[in-house]
């Protein structure tokens, strides 16, 4: 079977029946593709372990795998020897582009948190304070740095993010994460059905390009700001996170404890600043 037949793209075209008042018509429609991605780790001695299975939009899969592993502290920049789609004979052809194997220079990490990621879940069985304590073992608070933003720059980020969402424009069904410079210039943007995946793809892009840490950048997300998104931003060294919707309470706790700027409800000419007000210049 050829790659053209087995590799699924970010959009899927179907036939739908559209009802509008008393009018009925059949037409084609584009949907955001949703497929599972299995992320495997492989060591030089041949041992392998599946660390995650996540539902995602195909595209930038190597970045997604890299960003996820970096965010969970399972690999560091430079720790990856190779990344490839799996070609094991036990996999049917249609599944090969849904399985990514990340080969490490060293052994597979033996971490207690590894097993809980076999199927990604929002229920990890610990409380918020325990999650923050665990994060302190891996990350230090971010330095103040030189990043400075103005309200005018903030107000322009949602429109700039939306303008870069090519797949959303066709489907209306994707989250986005964008990386911006302090002057509002878009550096990179990724889309996915999962907002966490979109952030992982961005972090993976930065890691593979040896751009980490992202100390002088702003992360803009199209949905809400969750603890997971703030964690991924922290590990990547992003000092400021902006969201169109609300943050969660634990996201605010994380931002305040680790010295991050967190902006929510960024719509039109207004927003709420929950943490790190010192990075925003207000006359």
Is residue 263, in this structure, part of any structural domain at all?
A: yes
**What span, in angstroms and rounded, lies between the C-alpha atoms of 60 and 280?**
32
Burial of 46 (0-12, 13-18, 19+ CB in 10 A): exposed
Lowest mean pLDDT among 2-11, 137-146, 249-258: 2-11
- Give the span between the Cα atoms of 215 and 239, in whole angstroms: 6
| The predicted structure's pLDDT at residue 78 | 85
On whether the CB atoms of residues 145 and 215 are closer than 8 A, the answer is yes
What are the C-alpha distances in Å from 278 to residues 43, 141, 259, 260, 268? 44, 15, 10, 10, 22
Residue 155: pLDDT band (50, 70, 90) is: very high
- Whether residue 136 lies inside any domain: the answer is no
Q: How confident is the model at residue 128 (pLDDT cuts 50, 70, 90)?
A: low
Is residue 162 in a domain?
yes
Residue 165 lies in a domain: yes
In a domain, residue 180? The reply is yes
124 as an active site residue: the answer is: yes
Give pLDDT, residue 3.
44
Q: At what angle do helices 128-136 and 249-257 cross, to 10 degrees?
A: 30
Q: What average pLDDT does the chain have?
A: 86
Q: Residue 215: inside a domain, yes or no?
A: yes
Higher pLDDT, 6 or 17: 17
Band of residue 179 on the pLDDT scale cut at 50, 70, 90: very high
- The per-residue pLDDT for 168 is 61
In a domain, 60, yes or no: no
Q: What pLDDT is recorded for position 88? A: 73
CA angle 160, 161, 164 (to 5 degrees): 90
- Give residue 29's pLDDT: 82
Catalytic annotation, pick one of 124, 139, 242, 271: 124
pLDDT at 116: 44
Judged by phi (left if over 0) then psi (alpha if -120 to 50, else beta), residue 184 lies in left
Instruction: Report residue 14 as tokens.
Output: 């179907």
Number of domains in the chain: 1
Annotated binding site: 265-270
* pLDDT grade for 255, boundaries at 50, 70 and 90: very high
Q: Which residue has the higher pLDDT, 222 or 6?
A: 222
116 located within any domain: no
Residue 143 CA from chain centroid, whole number = 23
Q: What is the CATH classification number for the domain harbouring 192? A: 3.40.140.10
- Which residues constitute the domain of residue 246? 151-279
State residue 129's pLDDT score.
63
Helix (H) or strand (E) holding 271: strand 270-275
Report whether pLDDT(94) > 80.
no
């Amino acid at each position: 079977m050829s790659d053209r037949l087995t590799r699924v793209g970010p959009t899927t075209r179907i036939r739908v029946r559209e009802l509008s008042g008393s009018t009925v018509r059949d037409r084609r429609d584009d949907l955001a593709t949703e497929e599972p991605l299995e992320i495997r780790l492989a060591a030089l001695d041949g041992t392998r372990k599946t660390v995650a299975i996540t539902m995602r939009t195909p595209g930038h899969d190597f970045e997604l795998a890299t960003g996820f592993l970096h965010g969970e502290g399972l690999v560091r920049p430079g720790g990856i020897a190779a990344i490839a789609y799996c070609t094991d004979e036990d996999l049917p052809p249609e599944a090969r582009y849904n399985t990514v194997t990340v080969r490490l220079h060293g052994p597979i990490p033996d971490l207690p948190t590894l097993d809980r990621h076999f199927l990604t879940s929002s229920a990890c069985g610990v409380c918020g304070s325990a999650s923050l304590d665990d994060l302190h073992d891996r990350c230090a608070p971010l330095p103040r740095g030189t990043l400075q933003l103005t309200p005018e720059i903030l107000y322009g980020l949602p429109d700039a993010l939306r303008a870069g969402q090519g797949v959303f424009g066709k489907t209306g069904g994707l989250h986005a994460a964008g990386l911006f410079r302090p002057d509002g210039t878009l550096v990179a943007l990724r889309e996915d059905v999962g907002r966490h995946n979109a952030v992982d793809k961005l972090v993976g892009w930065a890691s593979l390009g040896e751009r980490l840490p992202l100390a002088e950048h702003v992360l803009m997300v199209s949905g809400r700001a969750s603890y997971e998104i703030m964690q991924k931003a922290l590990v990547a060294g992003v000092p400021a996170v902006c969201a169109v919707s609300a943050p969660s309470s634990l996201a605010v706790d994380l931002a305040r404890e680790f010295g991050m700027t967190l902006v929510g409800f960024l719509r039109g000419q207004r927003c709420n600043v929950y943490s790190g007000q010192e990075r925003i210049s207000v006359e």
